Structure 1
Amino acid sequence: MTDYRTLIDDETWAFIDRTNSFYPPDTIDYTIDQQREVYNRMCREFFTGYPDGVTAETKFIKAAEGHEIPIRHYRAEQNAPQAVVLYSHGGGFVVGGLESHDDVCAEICHRTGYDVVSVDYRLAPEHKHPASFNDCMTAFNWVAGTFDLPIVLAGDSAGGNLSAAVAHHTRSHPRKPVGQMLIYPGLGGDITRGSYVTHAEAPMLTMRDLVFYKDIRTGGKDHSRDISYVPLSDPDFSDLPPTIVITAECDPLSSDGEAYRDVLLAAGVKAWWHEDAGLVHGHLRARHSVARARESFSRIVESIRTLGSKEWGHPLPAEVNPGRQ
């Protein structure tokens, strides 16, 4: 049994307690609409506003299936941007949207100087896989056709999964992304090993949660060999963009970051994985209240900036152990 009292500091516990104050113990058994109400209320309470000089405009882009996809375009009032970030939000493919990660995207825009486009992809269970992926691909194609700038893919949790899936499906695109920044993503690793076992009962995210989100997203269908659903199932990891993965130690998904880093390096792709000690899933919202989360967010922002400028400052080990899923 993992002793989280020794791994997690008081600041992070305060963040966990504040988050949990919005969630009754049986929230996972609530209806989807009720869960969204709880999540949206929690997001509003953590909202920190926009930095000075950042503006945002909500637009709608047309999908091939005929529906409209809301996106939000963030701009910083300074020199012309040198890159554009396509951001996919977290929320287990079930909750979240433009509002849930509004201030996060605004701060990324402010601190990098890059334009940021956030995509409000369709959610399960109303829209099962591959609806969310298809919407993110539509958003990528819109960004590629609208901006004459390098494209960086970024996303947290479910959004990290979607960003990686887009990267795998656009590596031969004439506007191939120049990098991807994945924040505690779920990529389809081996749930019988590593953090899936060690942190199966972690604060903020448990294995029960992950099974719930998986079943909701798929409707019970097996997509285990579908790269748009499980990026780690790809038999070929070559030609993917330089990749940075940031995970949290106290998170069942952390081993996916290590596994993904290893298979990318084995395929000759630049990749770096960093696990933040003592942090939990969802710590983006703690970036203003927890020192460790503040440092993590600075690392994330700087990584996005370096990927957009096509820089690489991380070590590349001579030997790796590929496939540690």
Structure 2
Amino acid sequence: MTTKPPFPTEPGILAFHRRCEDFYPADAVDASIQQQRAWYDALCAEFDAPSPEGLTREDQLVAERIPVRRYRPAEIATQTRIFYIHGGGFVVGSLQSHDAICAEIAHVARAELVSVDYRLAPEHVWPAAFEDCFEVLQWLLADGRPLVVVGDSAGGNLAAGLALKARTEGLAGIVGQVLIYPGLGGDLVSGSYVEMAQAPGLSTADVAYYRDILKAPAENAVAHPLKAADLSGLPPAYITSAHFDPLRDDAALYAQRLAAAGIEVTYRNEPQMIHAWLRARHRSEGAREGFAHLCCGIGRLVGTSWLPLRLAD
């Protein structure tokens, strides 16, 4: 007997999910990698938003091989920068797929933001993506300016891993970590992985597929931050999750463990949201509210004030 997947009731997020299915079918993981990337790029373009007035972009290479994009909003109110790491299951995603999201975060936070185009699987398995991100992290911290590391989904995994690695290496300068519906290596046969196994937007089978294709060592704490034995000494965190998401408990458990280790942490679960709700911020009231809270959390970490009206600028 099959059961119906759990669905939210908010009309905006349901419409967002239906539109996503037009571009990226539920069985997309069975398609070729090239097809998956084409679908994902088309989906992302559908939800793009106009660039904030006065914001500039600059593309460059780090270490002559890693593409990054620098966003400078019209108003910069802090020396602290944001390092954004995109999601996509380590398989899809690029500088362009998250361009509008990065631009809006930089604008609202009034902070310079740098995003990274790390190597993707299956062409480049673990630890290629992490190594690219860590190299960019070192490059950003080299001038002594503080940094907040932000990532969504697979990017949230990388952001958490970077904070752990930086602590181990004695690399100073990360003043905050922001994890947006991150995959942190939780048990696939318990909790939200069971309750939300067939959730819209991302299934537990999808998570297993992405883990298999990445080939990260199962007990490696940098690859699976929930495996870390000690979370003390990490930077303050803002962590957000979606209720209708198999990854939900990864975020909640990590937040609990950070707090138990004495780390300042804010955790927010979006009750009507599904995985990837960040992209629905202009189509769903719940996603808009979640994005407002996210920007407020980032603003606190970078040291800028934040006003809700800025989202409508």
Q: CA deviation at 1:176?
A: 3.1
Aligned to 1:41: 42
**Within 2, Cα distance between the matches of 1:31 and 1:292?**
33
Residue pair 1:2, 1:198 contacting (<8 A) in 2 also: no
Residue pair 1:55, 1:74 contacting (<8 A) in 2 also: yes
**Within 2, Cα distance between the matches of 1:231 and 1:142?**
23
Q: Pairwise mapping of residues 94-113 of structure 1 onto structure 2 (< 5 A)?
A: 94-113=91-110
**Within 2, Cα distance between the matches of 1:144 and 1:254?**
31
Q: CA deviation at 1:79?
A: 4.1
- 1:93-127 C-alpha deviation (Å, 9 max, x unpaired): 00001001001000011001111000111000000
- C-alpha spacing 1:25/1:181, structure 2 compared with 1 (3 Å): closer
Aligned to 2:80: 83
**Within 2, Cα distance between the matches of 1:202 and 1:3?**
5
Amino acid corresponding to residue 12 of structure 1 in structure 2: I
Q: CA deviation at 1:25?
A: 4.5
**Within 2, Cα distance between the matches of 1:305 and 1:118?**
17
Q: Please report the RMSD computed on the Cα atoms of aligned residues, expressed in angstroms.
A: 1.6
**Within 2, Cα distance between the matches of 1:257 and 1:25?**
24
- 1:263-305 C-alpha deviation (Å, 9 max, x unpaired): 1112111122111001000011100010000000011111011
Aligned to 2:149: 153
Residue pair 1:184, 1:247 contacting (<8 A) in 2 also: yes
Q: CA deviation at 1:310?
A: 9.1
Q: CA deviation at 1:80?
A: 4.9
Aligned to 1:60: 61
**Within 2, Cα distance between the matches of 1:310 and 1:98?**
25
Q: Is the partner of 2:78 in helix, strand or coil?
A: coil
Aligned to 2:174: 177
Q: CA deviation at 1:76?
A: 1.1
Q: Structure 2: which 5+ runs fail to align?
A: 306-313
Q: Is the partner of 1:289 in helix, strand or coil?
A: coil
Q: Pairwise mapping of residues 123-142 of structure 1 onto structure 2 (< 5 A)?
A: 123-142=120-139
Residue pair 1:197, 1:252 contacting (<8 A) in 2 also: yes
Q: Structure 1: which 5+ runs fail to align?
A: 312-325
- C-alpha spacing 1:271/1:310, structure 2 compared with 1 (3 Å): farther
Aligned to 2:21: 20
Amino acid corresponding to residue 258 of structure 1 in structure 2: A
Q: CA deviation at 1:149?
A: 2.6
Amino acid corresponding to residue 4 of structure 1 in structure 2: P
Count of paired positions: 302
**Within 2, Cα distance between the matches of 1:87 and 1:25?**
27
Segment of structure 1 superposing worse, 79-88 or 51-60? 79-88
Q: Could you tell me the TM-score, scaled by structure 1's length?
A: 0.89
Aligned to 1:11: 12
Amino acid corresponding to residue 247 of structure 1 in structure 2: S
Q: Which has the higher contact order (CA 8 A, sep 6+)?
A: 2
Q: Does 1:294 align with 2:295?
A: no
Q: CA deviation at 1:136?
A: 0.6
Aligned to 1:260: 254
- C-alpha spacing 1:79/1:200, structure 2 compared with 1 (3 Å): closer
- 1:123-155 C-alpha deviation (Å, 9 max, x unpaired): 000000000000110010111014x43210101
Aligned to 1:206: 203
- 1:154-195 C-alpha deviation (Å, 9 max, x unpaired): 010000000000000112535331110100000011222211
**Within 2, Cα distance between the matches of 1:102 and 1:225?**
33
Q: Could you tell me the TM-score, scaled by structure 2's length?
A: 0.92
**Within 2, Cα distance between the matches of 1:174 and 1:46?**
37
Residue pair 2:6, 2:196 contacting (<8 A) in 1 also: no
**Within 2, Cα distance between the matches of 1:265 and 1:26?**
37
Q: CA deviation at 1:82?
A: 3.1
**Within 2, Cα distance between the matches of 1:71 and 1:212?**
27
Q: Is the partner of 2:23 in helix, strand or coil?
A: coil
**Within 1, Cα distance between the matches of 2:299 and 2:20?**
29
**Within 2, Cα distance between the matches of 1:285 and 1:80?**
26
Segment of structure 1 superposing worse, 105-114 or 23-32? 23-32
Q: Is the partner of 2:38 in helix, strand or coil?
A: helix
